[in-house]
Amino acid sequence: MCGKDWLSNNDVPVCSPGTNANCAGQPHIGSTSKDPANPNWQCVELAQRLYKTKGWYTGTSTGVFASVQIADDIYQYAQSLGFVSTLNGSISSVRPGDMIIHKKSEPGTNSSGHVAIVDTVQGGTITAREQNRSKNGTATHSLSGGFLTRTGPDASASSNIEGLVHSPANS
């Protein structure tokens, strides 16, 4: 997927896991996975690369979120990273660029959790982009009664959504 195809043409591509150090001309940032066949382009990498490119996180010169080793850590360290976190069940608004964080108990994530980035919000329907989860890099969610729920493929992951993380720099 080309970067221009999501989040108002932001030029940050969604990449497939693999060994390449570059994707659509952008270098991989941050740590790698323990899987030697697919070490690069994990879900946290997309969030870090997007937030660095957009200037939504300036805590490190590399753009790597301080103290974050796995996706679930983004929610745990949100405040120290300068972000605002909202627990699932208390979500009143969602903005493009927000991070949807899945808990460590998320099946199929090797106890790392997962992060997807909100692309569009149309009423109560949220489209998110993600690396290393869905085949096409897209996930659909709904927002109702303060709860984000993943719909379509992987809908069973809904019970594992921890919450939403927003950067105040994303206005």
Q: Which structural domains are found in the chain, ordered by start?
A: 3-166 (3.90.1720)
Asked if the model's pLDDT at residue 10 lies above 90, the reply is no
Radius of gyration of the chain (CA): 14
What whole-number percentage of the chain has pLDDT above 90? 50
Closest to 125 (Cα-Cα) out of 101, 142, 107: 142
Q: How much is the average pLDDT of 61-82?
A: 92
pTM confidence score: 0.91
Contacts of 76 (CB under 8 A, 6+ apart): none
The pair phi, psi for residue 123, each rounded to 5°, is 65, -125
pLDDT at 4: 64
Q: How much is the average pLDDT of 53-81?
A: 92
Q: Sign of the C-alpha dihedral, residues 137, 17, 118, 125?
A: positive
The pair phi, psi for residue 97, each rounded to 5°, is 100, -15
Q: How confident is the model at residue 117 (pLDDT cuts 50, 70, 90)?
A: very high
The answer to whether 20 and 40 are in contact (CB under 8 A) is: yes
Pure H helices in 31-160: 43-54, 71-76
Q: How much is the average pLDDT of 155-168?
A: 84
